[in-house]
Homo-oligomer: A and B are copies of this chain.
Amino acid sequence: MRADLSGVFCAAATPVLEDYSADAKRLAAHCRQLLKDGCRGIALLGSTGEANSFSVSERMALLEAIVADGIAPDRLLPGTGVCALPDTVALTRHALSLGVSTVVMLPPFYYKGVSDDGLVDAYSYVIDRVNDPRLRVVLYHIPPISQIPIPDAVISTLIARYGQVIAGVKDSSGDLEHMAGLAETFPGLSIFAGADPLMLPLLERGGAGCITATSNLAAAQLRRIFDDRGNPDAKIAVQVAQARVVAVRTISSRFPQIPSIKAMIARRYGDDGWCALRHPFRSLSTEQRQIIGALLDELDADERASA
């Protein structure tokens, strides 16, 4: 694991206004809250952030607005990987120009069944074109959505070619054994769980933390787990925090996940503006929001009862 790259990173949702444009003000306020909650950083414009539903210029404008609003660039890990590599280069260079040096990079994801060599070529093209020694890349392995896994052989070749530029892997396979395998095979990389409940077991097997959706709602609990997992005096507190993380994640999976996360953020802030999404997603129905609200109320009541 890299000493300078570990902790709880939130894959922040991106609020949108009525005209579907990104709402930088709401997002900056949310980022500030997430940092207060205990996040080490914000992995904005990732899958949960509907990044690929925004154009390159919209993504650049949003990142600029967040930095201008005072969120420190070294706390930001934007997603920059798209299908067209010139755009991946442009987004990555733009992040660096703002002082944001660590990015989470999807492989090009339109064509399926891509060869290992082709994936190495793609990442190499981007890193060579960006050509900036400050760059740190977190490779983004998310086969359920991208359908393009990043095999170990590709990671090995990239490390041999680019050294410390290859900083980590966000593993959203949902498979703990795969994540732990990466941590074992690549001890110099920071391996992040893409699913909140798996951060704790991954940390125990050499992982670096998480980059996740549920941290929009349970970052304080994740931070507690991260800090106190080895502290014998905090065993119960860690268990309680983990139970909350698992429960919130389960509730967020009751309906489509990204609309659910947004509905839950709306409830958190008492701000219905958070419920809107870009197409092809739809906001949860009032009934669905009520079901989620009731489940969260029940969870809160249970926690109070056992406290």
Chain A residues proximal to chain B, CB less than 8 Å: 20, 47, 52-56, 58, 82-87, 90, 107-115, 117-119, 121-122, 125, 144-147, 256, 258, 278-282
A122 close to B56 (CB less than 8 A): no
Closest to A51 in B: B110
A52 close to B110 (CB less than 8 A): yes
A258 to B87, CA, bound (A): 22
A280 close to B86 (CB less than 8 A): no
A86 shortest CB reach to chain B, Å:
5
List chain B residues, Cβ under 8 A from A118. 279-282
List chain B residues, Cβ under 8 A from A86. 54-55, 58
On whether A56 and B55 interact (CB within 8 A), knowing A114-B280, A118-B282, A280-B122, the answer reads yes
List chain B residues, Cβ under 8 A from A56. 55-56, 84, 87
List chain B residues, Cβ under 8 A from A112. 144-145, 147
Q: Quick one: which of B52, B107, B111, B125 contacts A145, CB cutoff 8 A? A: B111
Of listed A83, A113, A118, A278, residue having the most chain B CB within 10 A: A83
On whether A280 and B55 interact (CB within 8 A), knowing A83-B83, A147-B147, the answer reads no
List chain B residues, Cβ under 8 A from A258. 111
6 contacts between A and B (CB under 8 A): A53-B111, A54-B84, A55-B86, A85-B278, A114-B281, A147-B147
